C-alpha cells in the first residue's frame, strides 16, 4: 500500500512560526498522531509526506522521532490535486493509495482499515460525513440512484448544491494506477484556479469505477485544524473521548471534563482521579490508587493502592504499592519509592531509592541517595549531593533516624540503626547504632537588648 499525507499548506490562520502540522494536540504534534495511526495499521509502508511551508522544522521532527517517511516537495501550493501530483513518482502503481492530511490528526486506524477494505479490487473509497452545517466543505454529488457523480467545492457550488449535507472529508483510497492517470488529467478551471484532488471523483465515475463511501465512527476523526481555536476545540473533544474510555474501564473521574491525558495512559480499574490532573508520556496506574487534585504525573508507574495527594509532581519515577506521596511532593527522574513509604509536603526526591516503610514527611531534599527500610528522615534534611562539579551518593541504611535540619555531605554513609542529632552537618560516615551529632555547644550569656533612641525636641 501507499500512503500520501498532505502537509504543504502554510496554516496562515494559526499565526505561528511553527508549521501547522507540528502544533501539538494532546501533547503530540498533529502530524505525529497521523504517523502513529499509520503504524497501528501495521502495513510495512513508508508514507509519503508532501511538504511545502516549514519543511525543515517538519524534517527535524521526523528525524527526531525516527519516523520512516519519504518526502515530496510542493514549493507552490496550487491545490490538493497538485500536492498529490508531487507524490506520484514515489508511489508504486500496483498497489492501493490512501490519502491523509497532516492537519486531520484524529483519524482512527479502524476507520482506515474499513476504508481500505472498501477500496479492494480497484474500487474508489471516500470517507464522507453528513453535517448539520456543511459550509466550507466539498459536497458529494449523487445521481437519482444515489450513485456518486462527483464532488463540488463550496466556492463552485450553486445554491441547490450548497443544500447538500453530505461532505467530502478528503480522505480517500483507490488504485494507484488510476490515481496517477486521473491526477495527470486535472485542470485548474474552477473558482479558485486550483488543481482539485476532488475532481478525480468525477473522472472515476465517468470511467464506471465503483465508488463506495463510509462514515467515520466518531465525528472528531475527520475534523481538520485551521486555527488555534479549532485546535483547542478538538483537544477538548479528544480529552472527553479519552475520559469516557476511562469511565467505561472502571476509573472514577471526579470531573471527566477536568483531566488531561497527553501520551500513553494505562490505568487499572477502581482508581480515583480528582480534578485537574495531567498525565504525560507513558504512565501506568495500578488498581486502587487515589490521585488528589492538580497532580502532574509523567513517565511513571504507581503501585496498587498508593495515595498521591494534591499538587504532587511525579516524573520518571516508580512508586510501589500502598505508599503515600504528597501533598506537594516532587519526585524527579530516577526515583524509586518502595511500598508503604511516605513522601510528604515540600519533599523533593531525585535519582534515589527509598526503602520499604521509610518516611520523609516534611521539607527535604533527597538526591542521589540509597535509603534503606524503616528510615525516618526528619524535616529539613538535605543531601548535599553536588560539589559544584560532580554528584555524589548518600547511603542511609535500614532503621536509621535522621534528625531535623541535617545536611548529609555526600559521599557519606549513615550506618544501620544510627541516629543523627538534629542540626548535624554530616561530613564523615556515621557508625551503625550510635548517635552522631555535630553542633556548636549551646551557651547562655547575660544580654541587654538594644533600645530604640528616643529623640528629644
Ligand atoms: C478540501 C477538499 C474539500 C474537503 C475539505 C475537507 C479539495 C479541493 N477540497 O478543501 O472537498 O471538504 O478539504 O477538509 O481537495 N494542501 C497541500 N497543498 C496544496 C493545497 C492543500 O498540501 O496545494 C493540504 C493542506 O495543507 C491541507 C489539505 O491539503 O492539509 C487540505 O487543503 P485545504 O486548502 O484546507 O482544502 P479545503 O479547501 O479545506
Ligand atoms: Ca481545510
Alpha-carbon distance values, 317 to 243, 307, 354, 392 (Å): 24, 15, 11, 20
CB 171 within 8 A of CB 105: no
Which residue's CA is minimally distant from atom 32 of ligand 1? 80
DSSP secondary structure string, 133-190?
A: --TTSPEEEE-TTS-EEEEE-GGG--TTGGG--EEEEEEEEEEHHHHHHHHTT----S
Q: What is the pLDDT along the chain (457 residues), one digit of tens a residue?
A: 999 999 998 889 999 999 999 999 999 999 999 999 999 999 989 999 999 988 999 999 999 999 999 999 999 999 999 999 999 999 999 999 999 999 999 999 999 999 999 999 999 999 999 999 999 999 999 999 999 999 999 999 999 999 999 999 999 999 999 999 999 999 999 999 999 999 999 999 999 999 999 999 999 999 999 999 999 999 999 999 999 999 999 999 999 999 999 999 999 999 999 999 999 999 999 999 999 999 999 999 999 999 999 999 999 999 999 999 999 999 999 999 999 999 999 999 999 999 999 999 999 999 999 999 999 999 999 999 999 999 999 999 999 999 999 999 999 999 999 999 999 999 999 999 999 999 999 999 999 999 998 876 6
For residue 408, which phi and psi values (nearest 5 degrees)?
Answer: -105, 105
Ligand number, closest to the Cα atom of 102: 1
| Cα 93 to ligand 1 centre (Å) | 24
Q: Which three cell numbers stand for residue 325?
A: 506521596
Site to substitute for ligand 1 among 80, 102, 196, 213, most atoms within 8 A of C-beta:
80
Q: Crossing angle of helices 55-64/30-41, nearest 10°?
A: 50
**Residue tagged 476545540 (cell numbers):** 233
| Cα 51 to ligand 2 centre (Å) | 16
pTM score, two decimals?
0.94
Site to substitute for ligand 1 among 13, 170, 216, 227, most atoms within 8 A of C-beta:
170
**Chain CA centroid to CA 100, Å:** 21
Amino acid at each position: 500500500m501507499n500512503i500520501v499525507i498532505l502537509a504543504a499548506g502554510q496554516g496562515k490562520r494559526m499565526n505561528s512560526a511553527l508549521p501547522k502540522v507540528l502544533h501539538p494536540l494532546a501533547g503530540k504534534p498533529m502530524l505525529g498522531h497521523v504517523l502513529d495511526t499509520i503504524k497501528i495499521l501495521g502495513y510495512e509502508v513508508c508514507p509519503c509526506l508532501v511538504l511545502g511551508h516549514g519543511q525543515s522544522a517538519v524534517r527535524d521532527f521526523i528525524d527526531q522521532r525516527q519516523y520512516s517517511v519519504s518526502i515530496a516537495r510542493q514549493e507552490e501550493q496550487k491545490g490538493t490535486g497538485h500536492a498529490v501530483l508531487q507524490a506520484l513518482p514515489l508511489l508504486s502503481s500496483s498497489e492501493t493509495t490512501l490519502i491523509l492530511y497532516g492537519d486531520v490528526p484524529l483519524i482512527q486506524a479502524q476507520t482506515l482499515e474499513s476504508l481500505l477494505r472498501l477500496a479492494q479490487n480497484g474500487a474508489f473509497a471516500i470517507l464522507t460525513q453528513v453535517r448539520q452545517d456543511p459550509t466550507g466543505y466539498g459536497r458529494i454529488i449523487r445521481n437519482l440512484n444515489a450513485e456518486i457523480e462527483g464532488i463540488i467545492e463550496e466556492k463552485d457550488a450553486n445554491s441547490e448544491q450548497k443544500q447538500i449535507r453530505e461532505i467530502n472529508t478528503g480522505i480517500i483510497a483507490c488504485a494507484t494506477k488510476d490515481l496517477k492517470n486521473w491526477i495527470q488529467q486535472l485542470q485548474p478551471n474552477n473558482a479558485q484556479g486550483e488543481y482539485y484532488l476532488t475532481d478525480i471523483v468525477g473522472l472515476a465515475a465517468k470511467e464506471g469505477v465503483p465508488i463506495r463511501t463510509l462514515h467515520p465512527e466518531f465525528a472528531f476523526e475527520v475534523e481538520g485544524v485551521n486555527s488555534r481555536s479549532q485546535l483547542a476545540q478538538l483537544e477538548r473533544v479528544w480529552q472527553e473521548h479519552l475520559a469516557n474510555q476511562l469511565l467505561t474501564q472502571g476509573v472514577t473521574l471526579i470531573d471527566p471534563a477536568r483531566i488531561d491525558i497527553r501520551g500513553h495512559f494505562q490505568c487499572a480499574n477502581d482508581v480515583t482521579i480528582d480534578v485537574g490532573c495531567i498525565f504525560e508520556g507513558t504512565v501506568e496506574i495500578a488498581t486502587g490508587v487515589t490521585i488528589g487534585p492538580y497532580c502532574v504525573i509523567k513517565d511513571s508507574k504507581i503501585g496498587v493502592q498508593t495515595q498521591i495527594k494534591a499538587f504532587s509532581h511525579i516524573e520518571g519515577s516508580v512508586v510501589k504499592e500502598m505508599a503515600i506521596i504528597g501533598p506537594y511532593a516532587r519526585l524527579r527522574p530516577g526515583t524509586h519509592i518502595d511500598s508503604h513509604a511516605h513522601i510528604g509536603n515540600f519533599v523533593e526526591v531525585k535519582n534515589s531509592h527509598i526503602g520499604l516503610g521509610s518516611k520523609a514527611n516534611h521539607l527535604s531534599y533527597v538526591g542521589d541517595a540509597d535509603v534503606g527500610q524503616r528510615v525516618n528522615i526528619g524535616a529539613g534534611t538535605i543531601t548535599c549531593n553536588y560539589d559544584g562539579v560532580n554528584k555524589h551518593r548518600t547511603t542511609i541504611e535500614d532503621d536509621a533516624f535522621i534528625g531535623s535540619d541535617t545536611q548529609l555531605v555526600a559521599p557519606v554513609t549513615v550506618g544501620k540503626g544510627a541516629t543523627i542529632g538534629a542540626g548535624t552537618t554530616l561530613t564523615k560516615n556515621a557508625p551503625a547504632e550510635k548517635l552522631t551529632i555535630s553542633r556548636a555547644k549551646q551557651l547562655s550569656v547575660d544580654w541587654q537588648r538594644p533600645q530604640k533612641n528616643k529623640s528629644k525636641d
